[in-house]
């Protein structure tokens, strides 16, 4: 939902043209703020205390640092209420439409109509599945509440002061989003824990799922079962759902009765399964083949299939293996490419299509992938291309094949998603990305320092943990209460040892901790002093 497309800026510009009424801005100290302030008012100390108490219950782990909103200025539109940062005073205006409102930097908008869009808050009937620049923030059984961010340059960049002001305001957009409250029964604030938050109450249309990857479709399908407490034999799925605050797995797969599913859930299951089948038809690769079998694939895209065989044999006293690829009866030993297999996958190999035909400038080419568990249980996949001769194009950490690891690492064109071993917050694995560079015909790791962690088991949090809402020591803080189950979900690191870790509690609270020299910077404590079951051995 956070991927930005140009169409979003057109949506934003269109919203600037419409106005409405019914909005209300309240400020407890300084009176009216913003050019679209419609009414000023005050909250009593008791009302404010009760409101803060209620908000804390609705959003566990909400920021405890309210400096950005100290004056208490809020804006209300129908069932929506948001807080306005103090630093925005006199710098913004609000435009309203039928389904919500947007916040605009006044300086940019005065320079050029349609500019200055900071964000918008809207509601939609049904599920929010593919709105450019949108992120779902809350939902009921029938509606989704979401925020839209600009998908292109949305400020008057020819003026340095205006540009600077816009960037400073935009830096608080997500802090504003965190304050959003919906005055309606049954509102839930955890849409990020679902692929289909309304999957049990709203019937899908086939077109709703056109842009979903097979990984997303798989989770969406199993999400329907998970809502009813089903457990999963697949450890990756089980660990994934365990992190969700709403999930309580109590029924084994063998004992689960699908009769508990309502009609909408049953119909949605069939729609999702049909979408999965369509995805497999449209994306036939990667294809799995048996070791030693002879198969035919057009590797070089010349319209003629090559005969391919992959064979293994034990070599040497240490029981290492020698691998060989045979293309049209021409033998290629892996050792000649400086690839020495330690503990190879002995039954299968794969033919892949990293760069799909519509993306490639030349004929569609395929790759051969062979798998090795490695000597230290650090799996690696080796890739080869063929164009008259076999060439080694690089390796990816992990096994990016659904049959091997439970996920498809080929969902993004020209990228392969693998699993990289990390030492932060302890020895674990994160999803890394390897890009195929057509200029040098090599796979290159994208070392961006951010890793979404492969779901693992839970850890006990021994004490209340002060964390940051974002990976920023100057930003707002939050508190994750001591509890039996917390999970590590993301890592930001440059050197592999220090960095930021996103911690999420089973109660829904979450925040980032900063690890410096192996210690939690905020507490000056070692990780094992605060969390149980830390795997720190090399």
Q: How far apart are CA 31 and CA 295, in angstroms?
A: 76
> Which of 60 and 262 is assigned the larger pLDDT?
262
Q: Are 255 and 229 in contact (CB under 8 A)?
A: no
Determine the Cα–Cα distance for residues 87 and 392; give it in Å rounded to an integer. 56
Find the mean pLDDT for residues 463-480. Answer: 92
At 16, the pLDDT band (50, 70, 90 cuts) reads very low
3-state secondary structure of 293: coil
Asked which of 72-81, 321-330, 356-365, 504-513 is least confident by mean pLDDT, the reply is: 356-365
| Paired tokens of 520 | 């939690």
Q: Do the beta carbons of residue 94 and residue 118 sit within 8 Å? A: no
- Provide CATH 2.30.30 ranges for the chain: 455-530
501-531 residue pLDDT tens: 999 999 999 999 999 998 999 899 999 999 9
Task: Give the pLDDT confidence score for residue 476 in this predicted structure.
Answer: 82
484's tokens: 């039996």
Q: List beta partners, residue 105.
A: 92
Query: Which helix (H) or strand (E) element contains residue 477?
Result: strand 477-480
pLDDT at 231 over 70: yes
45-52 average pLDDT score: 43
Q: Name, of 3-7, 327-331, 407-411, the range with top average pLDDT.
A: 327-331
Dihedrals phi, psi of 109, to nearest 5 degrees: -65, -35
Distance, in Å, from the CA atom of 231 to the CA atom of 242, rounded to the nearest integer, reads 10
Radius of gyration of the chain (CA): 26
Phi-psi region of 398 (alpha: psi -120 to 50; beta: other; left: phi over 0): left
Six-digit token string for 133: 């620049």
Q: Residues spanned by CATH 1.20.58.1690 within the chain?
A: 193-282
- Tens digit of each residue's pLDDT (9 = 90 or more) over 162-194: 999 999 999 999 999 999 999 999 999 999 999
Whether the bond between 17 and the residue before it is cis, its omega within 30 degrees of 0, is: no
Residue 389 has pLDDT above 70, yes or no: yes
Let me know how many helices (H) and strands (E) the chain has, helices first. 10, 30
Rounded to the nearest 5°, which phi and psi values hold at 83? -95, 145
The Cα–Cα gap between 278 and 212 comes to: 11
Average pLDDT over residues 72-80: 96
Report residue 317's pLDDT band, with 50, 70 and 90 as the boundaries: low
Helix (H) / strand (E) containing 16: helix 7-16
What fold is seen in the domain 193-282?
Methane Monooxygenase Hydroxylase; Chain G, domain 1 (1.20.58)
Domain 455-530 coded CATH 2.30.30: yes
Number of other residues whose CB lies within 10 A of the CB of residue 265: 19
Write the pLDDT tens digit of every residue in 243-276.
Answer: 999 999 999 999 999 999 999 999 999 999 999 9
**Residue showing tokens 């299509």:** 353
Distance CA 184, CA 24 (A): 18
Q: What is the pLDDT of residues 193-224, one digit of tens each?
A: 999 999 999 999 989 998 899 999 999 999 99
d(CA 493, CA 325): 38
Per-position b or e across 488-508, b if 16+ CB within 10 A of its CB: bbbbbbeeeebbbbbbbbbeb
For residues 297 and 292, give the distance between their C-alpha atoms in angstroms, rounded to a whole number. 15
Report residue 68's pLDDT band, with 50, 70 and 90 as the boundaries: confident
Please report the pLDDT score of residue 361 as a whole number. 52
What rounded mean pLDDT belongs to the chain? Answer: 86
Q: Residue 58 in contact with residue 189, Cβ under 8 Å?
A: yes
Find out whether 396 and 380 touch, Cβ atoms under 8 Å. yes
Q: What is the DSSP letter of 53?
A: H
DSSP E strands: which ranges in 8-108?
A: 23-26, 74-77, 80-83, 92-97, 100-105
Give the Cβ contact number of residue 318 at 10 Å. 7
Report the length, in residues, of the chain.
538
> Where residue 6 falls among pLDDT bands split at 50, 70, 90?
very low
Confidence of residue 495 (pLDDT cuts 50, 70, 90): confident
């Amino acid at each position: 939902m956070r991927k930005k497309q140009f169409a979003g800026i057109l949506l934003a510009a269109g919203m600037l043209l419409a106005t409405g009424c019914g909005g209300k801005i309240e400020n407890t100290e300084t009176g009216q703020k913003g050019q679209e302030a419609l009414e000023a008012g005050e909250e009593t100390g008791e009302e404010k205390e009760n409101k803060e108490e209620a908000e804390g219950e609705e959003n566990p782990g909400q920021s405890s640092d309210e400096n950005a909103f100290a004056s208490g200025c809020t804006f209300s539109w129908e069932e929506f209420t948001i807080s306005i940062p103090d630093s925005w005073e006199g710098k913004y205006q609000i435009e309203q439409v039928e389904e919500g409102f947007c916040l605009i930097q006044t300086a940019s908008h005065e320079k050029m109509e349609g500019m200055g869009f900071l964000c918008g808050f809207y509601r939609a009937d049904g599920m929010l599945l593919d709105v450019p620049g949108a992120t779902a923030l809350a939902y009921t059984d029938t509606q989704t509440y979401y925020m839209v961010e600009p998908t292109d340059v949305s400020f008057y960049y020819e003026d340095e002061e205006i540009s600077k002001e816009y960037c400073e305001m935009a830096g608080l957009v997500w802090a504003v989003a965190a304050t959003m409250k919906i005055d309606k029964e049954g509102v839930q604030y955890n849409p990020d824990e679902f692929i289909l938050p309304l999957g049990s109450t709203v019937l899908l249309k086939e077109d709703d799922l056109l842009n979903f990857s097979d990984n997303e479709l798989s989770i969406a399908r199993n999400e329907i079962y998970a809502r009813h407490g089903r457990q999963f034999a697949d450890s990756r799925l089980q660990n994934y759902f365990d992190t969700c605050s709403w999930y309580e797995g109590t029924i084994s797969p063998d004992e689960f009765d699908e009769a508990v599913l309502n009609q909408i859930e049953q119909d949605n299951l069939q729609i999702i399964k049909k979408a999965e089948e369509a995805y497999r038809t449209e994306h036939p690769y990667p294809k799995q083949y048996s070791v030693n079998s002879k198969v035919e694939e057009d590797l070089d895209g010349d319209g003629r299939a090559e005969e391919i065989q992959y064979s293994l044999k034990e070599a040497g006293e240490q029981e290492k293996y020698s691998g060989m690829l045979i293309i049209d009866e021409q033998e290629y030993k892996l050792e000649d490419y400086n690839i020495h297999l330690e503990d190879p996958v002995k039954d299968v190999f794969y033919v892949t299509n990293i760069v799909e035909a519509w993306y490639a400038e030349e004929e569609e080419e395929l790759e051969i992938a062979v798998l090795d568990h490695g000597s230290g249980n650090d799996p690696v996949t080796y890739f080869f291309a063929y164009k008259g001769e076999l060439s080694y194009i690089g390796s990816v950490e992990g096994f990016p094949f659904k049959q091997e690891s439970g996920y498809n690492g080929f969902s993004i064109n020209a990228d392969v998603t693998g699993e990289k071993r990390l030492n932060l917050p302890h020895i674990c694995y994160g999803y890394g990305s390897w890009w195929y560079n057509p200029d040098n015909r090599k796979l290159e790791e994208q070392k961006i320092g951010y890793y979404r962690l492969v779901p693992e088991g839970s850890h006990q949090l021994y004490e209340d943990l002060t964390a940051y809402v974002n990976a920023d020591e100057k930003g707002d803080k939050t508190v994750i209460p001591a509890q039996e189950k917390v999970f590590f979900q993301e890592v930001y690191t440059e050197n592999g040892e220090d960095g930021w870790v996103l911690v999420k509690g089973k109660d829904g609270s979450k925040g980032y901790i900063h690890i410096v020299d192996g210690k939690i910077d905020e507490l000056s404590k070692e990780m094992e002093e605060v969390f149980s079951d830390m795997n720190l051995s090399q």
